[in-house]
Amino acid sequence: MPRLLDPVRLGDVDCRNRIAMAPCTRCMSPGAMPGDDVAAYYERRAADGVGLLISEGTVICARGNGYPDVPGIYNEQQIQAWKGVTDRVHAAGGRIACQIWHVGAVAHPVTTGGALPESPSGISPTGDIRRLRKPDGSYEQYGQSEAVGEQRILELIDLYRQAARNAVDAGFDMVEIHGAHGYLIDAFINLNTNQRDDDWGGQQRTRFAREVARAVVDEIGAGRTLMRISPVMNVGGEGWQRPQETLPQLLTELAQSGLRILHISNLDYDEAIIPGPLAGPGNGAGAASDAARKVPLHEAARALWQGQLIGVGSLSPERADRAISEGEVDVAAFGRALIANPDLVSRIRAGKALAAYDPALLEQLI
């Protein structure tokens, strides 16, 4: 059986081991342009041997931005700036994916260039925007969002497609579609935030995710495309209603789109969060769960998904190695551990303990 440090062919991309860097928002790209410090940050982890780096969320349009100083991938200047990052990662022997992102309603006019944030049904989070402060130091608050119409939905799908093409032109090896955590794609999937009564809501609430995936796969190929999903981790709101129904439906439709690589996200990899029985059109996987118990996301996804899986969720190196060797996932991703340990791969090889994560580390790129 494979182990964590064994090489893997992920889609069409050869990775030197099964360790991925999970996408981590850093807010260190003024003007939506990654600079030399961002390039050095990714280069350092590539040089240590991470198999696949997945970039921080990178917005597909100005209106898709929800945080200060996050990078974009929607104009030529940004493409060239990212080229400076990917060149250094490749020179260090690494592979890197661009996570393309539209935050949906998880935004504020301050971050969207003055426009209202976009959402499936005009439903927005409430409370503080923890990364966005007013001049007096207090936090900005979430507010109104605009429900997107049919024409705008089609435009958004094309913006994802174009962002994927831009990422490849910038030298990225792969593209990850951010379909999780309450942002735009996840807001369509989630009945709490999608209350539409047209062909993009109700039983067709997973259609937007499917069509975005299809557009990206058609543009750059299934072997270079992955999507991140999460039933429970939701910025500013609740996770999916009835995940035992939504997960099979979503994975069936993503497979129909041509997608072959899925990144499943939960804060705790082993937390049992999917109730039984799994039900959905054409999944044929009822044995994955029963009504008497819940199962971890990775167990449910493995039963439903025929392609490759990346797993994440506060994994220790030992648990990640077991997840790989037991076939639960094909690649294990580390987020905070790689912020705290740029030398994570070297530490794993040497059997050394990892340095603990401290939120203060978010104040600088190391």
Residue 245 CB partners (closer than 8 Å, separation 6+): 279, 280
How far apart CA 71 and CA 96 sit, in angstroms, is: 15
pLDDT reported for residue 26: 96
Residue 183 annotated as catalytic? yes
Q: Helices 207-220 & 150-169, crossing angle to 10 degrees?
A: 30
Residue type, 65: N
Angle at 42 between CA 104 and CA 60, to 5 degrees: 25
Tell me, what's the pLDDT at 69?
97
**What's residue 279's pLDDT?**
58
Give 296's strand partners: 272
d(CA 173, CA 89): 11
pLDDT tens readout for residues 18-75 = 999 999 999 999 999 999 999 999 999 999 999 999 999 999 999 999 999 999 999 9
Q: What is residue 234's predicted lDDT score, i.e. its pLDDT?
A: 78
Query: Residues 231-247: what's their mean pLDDT?
Result: 89
Task: From the candidates 41, 160, 183, 269, give the one annotated as an active-site residue.
Answer: 183
pLDDT at position 337 over 60: yes
Percent of the chain with pLDDT over 70: 96
CA–CA separation, 348 and 342 (whole Å): 12
Cβ-proximal residues to 197 (8 Å cutoff; 6+ apart), any chain: none
Q: Where are the beta strands (DSSP E) in the chain?
A: 8-10, 13-15, 19-21, 52-59, 96-101, 118-119, 128-133, 139-141, 146-147, 174-178, 225-229, 261-265, 272-275, 294-296, 308-312, 331-334
Q: How would residue 131 be classed by pLDDT, with cut points 50, 70 and 90?
A: confident
Short-list 48, 52, 103, 15, CA closest to 334: 52
Res 211 pLDDT > 90: yes
Hey, what CATH topology would domain 8-264+274-309 get?
A: TIM Barrel (3.20.20)
Taking only the tens place, the pLDDT of each residue in 243-298 is 999 999 999 999 999 999 999 999 999 999 999 877 544 444 444 445 558 999 99
Q: Are 236 and 282 a contacting pair, CB within 8 Å?
A: no
- On the CB side of 77, CA atoms within 13 Å amount to 9
pLDDT of 144 higher than 80? yes
What is the reported pLDDT for 237?
A: 80
Question: pLDDT tens-digit profile of 115-124?
Answer: 999 999 999 9
pLDDT surpasses 60 at 238: yes
